[in-house]
Structure 1
Amino acid sequence: MALGTWLWIITIGFCLAFLVISWKVKDKATSSYAEYVIGGGSLPFFLIFFTQFATIMGVGNFVGHAASGARVGLPHMFFILGEQGSKIIFALFFAGLAGRFTYKTVSEMMDDLFVRDRVTRMLVGLVASLIMIAWVGGQGKAFGHIFSVITGANPTWIILFFSAVFILYTTLGGIYSVVWTDFLQGILMFVFGAVFYYYAFAPVDFSLTQLATKLAEGGHGNLWAVEHVNTMSLVTMFVTGCIGILAAQIYWQRCFAAKDGRTARNGLLYSGIIAILMVMLTALVGMVIVAVNPEILSADGKLAADPMSWFLQSAHIPTFVAAMIFALILAAGMSSADSNLNSAATLIVNDLILPLKKDATDQELVRYVTIATVVVGIFAALAALYATTIIGLFSKAYSIAGGALVPLLLVGLLWKKRAGEEFRMGTRNSNITPWGARTGIVVGGVLTQVEALGAHRNLIALGVSALLIVVVSLLTKESMEESSLRA
């Protein structure tokens, strides 16, 4: 059977399975707003672990990192340490805190604990949703590319098809659809991932020494060198990865959904450790592909073809194994898409609609979030259709959200009004004022897009935003206290 036929069989099978799961959980999910978006804050460890793992391992962690490994070589490992290591940092320092609360979004948490300002909450919700929307579109665009290369199908129709599936099963069951389909997808990733790495490293006899030798023989020995890596660039990569995850609603939402802080911390910690190992292996696979087919990488460092697509169609692996690897990529993309779609819809309803419609009933909120899921899914599909590249689709959103929101989060957590007191839901414990928060959000987000600031503009944006939050808060502290007294 041809690989293209296998792809369609696997795709239809996956989609039907996900729809069945979503139909089974829809009644529980729609019973209340809290159930729909955070599972009532009672999810056990195995669901938190698998949903975190499946969400982390999107299409980019297989297709994108394989291409980067083929093009950049060993230096790309440092980027992976920063990007994926940020999940471990989040788990150790933030997940346990978030797991104690039952907020719906990171915006709601910062509003309740830091500022109590509707405008700030809406700004945070809007900016945070940019990452989620972009990632949904990115998964659809990746599927469109893979199907186009292997089956010859029109990528536009593929993007629309997968977007419709994302929307349908996520709308049906909310967070329950996400975590239970992620549970299935996570298991498939472990099984098919083992098969993938076995066949991928077989051409070099599972030896890094032989990999380095073959790269040198093919004229690409520079891929196995790190001497030219700039230390400051590594620091920037690591910090960029960290600030990205701190602004990502998907990770906060899983922590809020966990039954307690320990469950939230361990779920993300263990999934993050495994993700680092798997993504590093994927980058090495990219180098193996160059070693096997040196012509895929030109002398000036440009790829003649997508390494993973070439690998799936090469004679080095049987067709049924290529189909299993595609199933791995499909599971990864579907899990990231549904998680980000649900998180984006939750942000829009919880932080853009709810502050303006505080008298909304629980069932009205459930209806709003289901409608938002459909709207966000359609918007993400359109973004995927018109974006030039997957990276271009979310890179700006990623940096804007990090520069705008991370300084507010860190300053809020560190600059307490009552230093010895733990944060508690319903109790504001921060010196940040509304104007300090608003100023930091706007300036931080804008500075990340000022190219004149150079390659380290994200770091500059973080520092300037944090400084302005403190300075403006000190200048407006008195007016805020007077406002509170009048209220």
Structure 2
Amino acid sequence: MSEPTLYLATNALVLTATVLFAIWISRKSRNAEGWSVGGRSLPFIVVLLTQFATASGGGMLVAQVGLGYQFGWGVITYGLFSAGGVMGLIFLAKWLRAHEFVSLPDIIKKLYGNHKFLTTIITLMTMVVPFGWLCTQLVAFANLFSTFTGISPTFLAIGFAIVGLIFILPGGMTSVAWTDALFGGLMVVMGVTTVFFALNSSGGWTEVMATATPERSSWYGFIAPGLLTIALWFMSVLPGTMTNQMYFQRIYAASTLKAVIWSLIGTGVLLLGTKFYAAILGMSAYSMNPDLANPEYAAGTVISQMPLILAVLYSTFICATLLSTVTSAVQSVVVNVTQDLVKSYSKTEVSPGRELSLSRAFSVVILALALVLSLAFPGALDWIVASYAYSAAGLFCPIFLGFVLRRTSLLGPISAIAGVLGGVAGAAIAQVVGSVIPYAMVGLVASAAAMLIVGVFTPRQMRSDHEIDASAKVSAEV
């Protein structure tokens, strides 16, 4: 059997088995609630591994190993912000669970009332990051597997999109979460295996640390990226993670509040573990070849040294990592379309059966659109990734400042709109003028200032949705 055939056959076997599992596990949850929030019954281990698998994505495979190649332990500094963002959601966990939300814009409706324009712009901002992730994962898979197999990236991207669709259609969140759990377990096992192989191939821990230079392997490595870069990470990754709807949906889908809290803590720990993985792989690649033209070739340098059987298994690791993010991203965007756009603008009530049918139809549409964009503009996807900072600038203050001040008379729908628009405008202006201060930070400050100023001078509008006292329910969950 030729190498390309072995790669494809192994991945096809793993994916086929997982698809069959997805169909089986979703058989009792093929309804609107099962699609959107997994029937609110996912056990702790599933929530933990689906959060981890979703958070990892293609960045863990390529970009973060590249950071490890450049900065050594500096990639762990990046990880502190992503892990901190996930754990920071514990701050909202009780409140989120009490209100049984379905999407991130539901939070805005609870805080500010059902204001159509506000809901619409929040929904669009919410969709930016998962849709961007979706496009980049399709491109990453096509490029990486084209190297392994010699098959056209276009053909691979189309095939990967179809596979992703097969995973999503049976049960939405239910099938995505349970298959993510399998993929997450595979990712942990292969990550540890790859680290041991990389160290062994590079002459062992002592040799790698000696070769990687003190700037990478000493304590200085943690600040090697530079204080300005670290500040930008802090002001984009941390709030960006805390406003990513894909994490919120798994909070809604968990069976108990206790499962939510421990899964968020566990996800943070696992995410830090992936940064150790990236740092060690990056420094091992530097030990193998310190003259790479592009740091993002570091992962490929390690893979090229693998024996065939390990390289084939590593390819399943890549496939699982990328597919988990693709399926989570599609499901998240579809929930926004059906829950926050279709329902908001529909003149008649959307039945659960109709909602499920629409969810499946929009899954096809969203994946097809992402596929077309990823094939037509693969070099233009960097701006989509950069939109992480813009999304955070527009969403963080309306959600978290709104939560803190929710019982005051200071905030209302108009101030929330000002916060969204002010955050995006502030970040854009700072980026255009080349501000020394990270543009994400400028956006966050502008968003907070706009919300508070407009709140002071604008009478608060009555909310259509009032706060409910659900403390008894929360206590019972704990």
TM-score normalised per structure 1: 0.88
Deviation, structure 1 residue 387: 3.6
Deviation, structure 1 residue 85: 3.0
Give 2:454's aligned amino acid: V
What's 1:82 paired with? 81
Whether 1:158 and 2:137 are equivalent positions in the alignment is no
What's 1:426 paired with? none
Structure 2 CA distance for partners of 1:175 and 1:355, relative to 1, 3 Å: same
What's 1:443 paired with? 422
What's 2:316 paired with? 327
Distance (Å, rounded) in 2 between the aligned partners of 1:250 and 1:93? 17
What's 2:227 paired with? 231
SS of equivalent residue, structure 2 residue 418:
helix
Distance (Å, rounded) in 2 between the aligned partners of 1:104 and 1:364? 17
Deviation, structure 1 residue 293: 1.9
Give 2:320's aligned amino acid: A
Give 2:397's aligned amino acid: P
Deviations 1:29-64 (A, max 9, x none): 333x11211022222212111111211221211222
What's 1:35 paired with? 34
Q: 1:396 aligns with which of 362, 368, 386?
A: 386
Structure 2 CA distance for partners of 1:49 and 1:396, relative to 1, 3 Å: same
Distance (Å, rounded) in 2 between the aligned partners of 1:288 and 1:389? 29
Deviation, structure 1 residue 27: 4.0
Counterparts of residues 345-356 of structure 1 (less than 5 Å): 345-356=334-345
Deviation, structure 1 residue 389: 4.7
What's 1:73 paired with? 72
What's 1:456 paired with? 438
Whether 1:477 and 2:459 are equivalent positions in the alignment is yes
Distance (Å, rounded) in 2 between the aligned partners of 1:395 and 1:170? 23
Deviation, structure 1 residue 336: 1.1
Structure 2 CA distance for partners of 1:326 and 1:127, relative to 1, 3 Å: same
Give 1:113's aligned amino acid: L
Q: 1:318 aligns with which of 292, 300, 307?
A: 307
Counterparts of residues 37-52 of structure 1 (less than 5 Å): 37-52=36-51
Gaps of 5+ in 2: 466-478
Deviation, structure 1 residue 268: 1.7
Whether 1:97 and 2:87 are equivalent positions in the alignment is no
What's 2:474 paired with? none
Please say which of residues 20-29 and 61-70 is displaced more in the overlay.
20-29
Q: 1:192 aligns with which of 171, 190, 193?
A: 190
Give 1:170's aligned amino acid: I
Distance (Å, rounded) in 1 between the aligned partners of 2:274 and 2:3? 25
Distance (Å, rounded) in 1 between the aligned partners of 2:196 and 2:94? 36
Distance (Å, rounded) in 1 between the aligned partners of 2:172 and 2:224? 47
Counterparts of residues 16-415 of structure 1 (less than 5 Å): 16-31=16-31, 33-90=32-89, 92-207=90-205, 209-216=206-213, 222-224=215-217, 225-226=220-221, 229-297=225-293, 302-303=294-295, 306-314=297-305, 317-357=306-346, 359-389=349-379, 392=382, 394-415=384-405
Structure 2 CA distance for partners of 1:400 and 1:310, relative to 1, 3 Å: same
Whether the 8 Å contact between 2:191 and 2:277 is mirrored in structure 1 is no
TM-score normalised per structure 2: 0.89
Distance (Å, rounded) in 2 between the aligned partners of 1:7 and 1:310? 18
Distance (Å, rounded) in 1 between the aligned partners of 2:377 and 2:264? 31
Please say which of residues 380-389 and 140-149 is displaced more in the overlay.
380-389
Deviations 1:101-130 (A, max 9, x none): 321101112212333312211211111111
Whether 1:466 and 2:448 are equivalent positions in the alignment is yes
Whether the 8 Å contact between 1:101 and 1:256 is mirrored in structure 2 is no
Distance (Å, rounded) in 1 between the aligned partners of 2:380 and 2:192? 26
Distance (Å, rounded) in 2 between the aligned partners of 1:127 and 1:384? 20
Give 2:289's aligned amino acid: N
Give 2:82's aligned amino acid: E
Distance (Å, rounded) in 2 between the aligned partners of 1:235 and 1:152? 40
What's 1:427 paired with? none
Whether the 8 Å contact between 1:67 and 1:308 is mirrored in structure 2 is yes
Tell me how large the CA RMSD over aligned residues is: 2.4
Distance (Å, rounded) in 2 between the aligned partners of 1:360 and 1:391? 35
Distance (Å, rounded) in 1 between the aligned partners of 2:235 and 2:47? 25
Please say which of residues 229-238 and 141-150 is displaced more in the overlay.
229-238
Deviations 1:447-469 (A, max 9, x none): 32332152511111111111111
Give 2:172's aligned amino acid: G
Distance (Å, rounded) in 2 between the aligned partners of 1:233 and 1:193? 27
Structure 2 CA distance for partners of 1:307 and 1:453, relative to 1, 3 Å: closer
Give 1:470's aligned amino acid: L
What's 2:471 paired with? none
Structure 2 CA distance for partners of 1:98 and 1:7, relative to 1, 3 Å: farther
Deviations 1:219-272 (A, max 9, x none): xx6444547654343233123111111221100000011122221121121022
Deviations 1:132-191 (A, max 9, x none): 111111111111111122222111111111011112220222111101111211221222
Distance (Å, rounded) in 1 between the aligned partners of 2:182 and 2:462? 51
Gaps of 5+ in 1: 419-429
Whether the 8 Å contact between 1:403 and 1:448 is mirrored in structure 2 is yes
